[in-house]
Amino acid sequence: MQQAKQLSLLISITAWAILIGGIVYAHLVYFPPYLSHLPESNALITGPYAIRDENFWMRIHPVAILTTVIALFFNWKQPARRKWIAAAAIIYTGVIIATATYFLPNLLAFANSGNSTLTPAEWYQRGQTWQYLSWLRGACMLAGFILLLQALTKERQ
């Protein structure tokens, strides 16, 4: 059982690390050119050579969520670890809710910007606001990752 506690937490930390790597990459490489030139920059997400980053996100989120739940389950009887893992899970829940209610609907609007009456300047401002808030979302995920690392430092029983 001791190995399951440690291994489940290590796997969860690994999933979160991969997720955060995707967040950083998307925010440094993908979003700046895409969201700075809407609706023309929609060419990045349409057509036969479009970037399909949703394939990554739709795979990593279930893995990260599941591994976090499993780590919480196996470490539940260790209060020193439980509080850190639970705090990370609460952060993740908040991020998922924000993603579902704000970030994803706006990404869909960006993708449909060619059919909109908004001006490129309005799209630019909207995209910049989205990026700023998304960096904050990423910072929340980094905080959750640090909480998981903190849980790892707690005594194993």
Q: Is 118 helix (H, G, I), strand (E, B) or coil?
A: coil
Q: What average pLDDT score do residues 76-97 get?
A: 97
Determine whether 74 is exposed, middle or buried from the number of CB atoms within 10 Å of its CB (0-12, 13-18, 19+).
buried
Residue 46 has pLDDT above 60, yes or no: yes
Q: What average pLDDT score do residues 4-10 get?
A: 95
pLDDT at 140: 98
Residue 157 has pLDDT above 70, yes or no: no
Residue 8, token pair as written in the block:
């489940």
Phi-psi domain of 47 (left: phi exceeds 0; alpha: psi -120 through 50; beta: other):
left
Q: Is the pTM of this model over 0.85?
A: yes
- pLDDT-derived band at 156, boundaries 50, 70, 90: low
Q: Which residues of 118-151 are buried (b: 16+ CB within 10 A; e: fewer)?
A: eeeeebeebbeebbeebeebbeebeebbebbebb
Please give the share of the chain, as a percent, with pLDDT higher than 70. Answer: 98
Q: What average pLDDT score do residues 53-78 get?
A: 96
Q: What average pLDDT score do residues 108-128 get?
A: 94
Residue 51, token pair as written in the block:
């970037």
Residue 102 half-sphere exposure toward CB, CA atoms < 13 A: 14
- pLDDT-derived band at 20, boundaries 50, 70, 90: very high
Q: How many domains would you assign to the chain?
A: 1
CA distance 157 to 141: 27
pLDDT at 155: 77
- List, in sequence order, the alpha helices (H) in the chain: 2-25, 31-35, 54-74, 79-98, 104-111, 120-153
Owning domain of residue 114: 2-153
CA distance 107 to 33: 14
